[in-house]
């Protein structure tokens, strides 16, 4: 005589399980939407560097350890993981065109 009640309880448990799984998926989707894209990270890092009161020499004749320290500080501040083994094989580096800095982008017009 308990069969309908047992089926109802089993159904309720399954529904609760599906709800929990759906909530988990929603949380994962929210995390993905909130994730920082690679270009956002680079622009944020460049913005941070240009907002600092100290000028940082950058280039083939400058001490790369200074830049590496700042990169690590920025990575740590954002709670990001350290680079993975072999990460440089996944990055495209533009060719150096010379010693002159690139032309600034044209100002936006209204």
Q: What is the pTM of this model?
A: 0.58
Answer whether residue 107 is part of any domain. Answer: no
18, 24, 30, 35 alpha-carbon torsion, rounded to 10°: -140
Give residue-wise pLDDT tens across range 60-98. Answer: 899 999 999 999 999 999 889 999 999 999 999 888 776
- Domain of 23 in residue numbering reads as 9-78
Residue 101 token pair: 């800095």
Answer whether residue 95 is part of any domain. Answer: no
Length of the chain: 110
Answer whether residue 87 is part of any domain. Answer: no
Answer whether residue 86 is part of any domain. Answer: no
Count of the separate structural domains present in the chain: 1
Alpha helices in 35-77 (DSSP H): 38-51, 64-77
Answer whether residue 68 is part of any domain. Answer: yes
Answer whether residue 4 is part of any domain. Answer: no
Answer whether residue 55 is part of any domain. Answer: yes
């Amino acid at each position: 005589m308990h069969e309908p009640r047992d089926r109802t309880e089993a159904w309720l448990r399954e529904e609760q399980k599906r709800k929990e799984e759906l909530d988990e998926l929603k949380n994962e989707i929210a995390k993905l939407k909130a994730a920082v894209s690679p270009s956002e990270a680079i622009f944020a890092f460049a913005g941070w560097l240009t907002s600092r009161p100290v000028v940082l020499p950058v280039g083939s004749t400058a001490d790369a350890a200074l830049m590496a320290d700042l990169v690590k500080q920025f990575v740590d501040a954002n709670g990001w993981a350290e680079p993975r083994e072999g990460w440089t094989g996944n990055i495209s580096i533009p060719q150096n065109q010379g010693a002159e800095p690139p032309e600034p982008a044209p100002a936006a017009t209204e």
